[in-house]
Chains A and B, each alone.
Chain A
Amino acid sequence: DAKTTQPTSMDCAEGRAANLPCNHSTISGNEYVYWYRQIHSQGPQYIIHGLKNNETNEMASLIITEDRKSSTLILPHATLRDTAVYYCIASYNQGGKLIFGQGTELSVKP
């Protein structure tokens, strides 16, 4: 599984978009980019995933660069409840293993 690199921490103002970057320069062609988040020591929660194309769901948008070496998770209107640690993971769909790194601690401030 490819290694991912994320900033340790970020701040965002409530109501603004939160853009969380992730580098995965060694990602292989059939590895997906997954994003999970963990709120205050609860179990992690799936957010979104993608392979090549940009993806959007009710929680977030995922922008993957054309060379697939990096991606950005966008929370369009961050709220205080989005304060959490966000994990970017490169993983195959087959096999099911997720390797969590340190993640980015996002603090949404009023």
Chain B
Amino acid sequence: NAGVTQTPKFQVLKTGQSMTLQCAQDMNHNSMYWYRQDPGMGLRLIYYSASEGTTDKGEVPNGYNVSRLNKREFSLRLESAAPSQTSVYFCASSEAPGGSYNEQFFGPGTRLTVL
């Protein structure tokens, strides 16, 4: 099992450019999440998808959109990148919210710089 995979690993954008971060999991998990982590800070939840076909805002959703393409894949889109979106982005997945407990499995992260 690859677990949670993210592409790309690194990306540099210019202000105003758009891009999509890809995330896939092979653990048949129902729930998926996108977080960002700024230097010296904890992770902050951007969006999450409790199950296929549903998405909800987290703590910091402004400037982002998400798509739960199918059960395996959850993408994060920046429509018009800004320097404030320079961060490390982590994708995670877990069993259904009603599962026995909330162990989230994280991907390796995408390091994004917006110039």
Contact = CB atoms under 8 A, between A and B. Distances in A.
Contact of A46 (B31, B90, B104): B104
B94 A102 contact: no
A75 B108 CA distance: 24
A49 interface: yes
A87 B94 CA distance: 18
A96 B96 CA distance: 8
A95 B97 contact: yes
Contacts of A93: 97-102
Main secondary structure of the interface of A (DSSP, over half): loop
B25 to A, nearest CB: 12
Contacts of B41: 102
B42 A87 contact: yes
A97 B58 contact: yes
A99 B44 CA distance: 7
Contacts of A87: 42
B45 A97 contact: yes
A54 interface: no
B81 interface: no
A43 interface: yes
Interface in A65-110: 87, 91-103
Interface string B79-115: 0000000001010101001111111111111000000
Interface string B39-63: 0011111001010000000110000
A45 interface: yes
Interface of A: 32, 34, 36, 41-46, 49, 87, 91-103
Given A93-B97, A93-B101, 12 more contacts: A36-B104, A49-B102, A94-B97, A94-B98, A96-B33, A97-B33, A97-B58, A98-B102, A98-B104, A99-B45, A100-B42, A102-B41
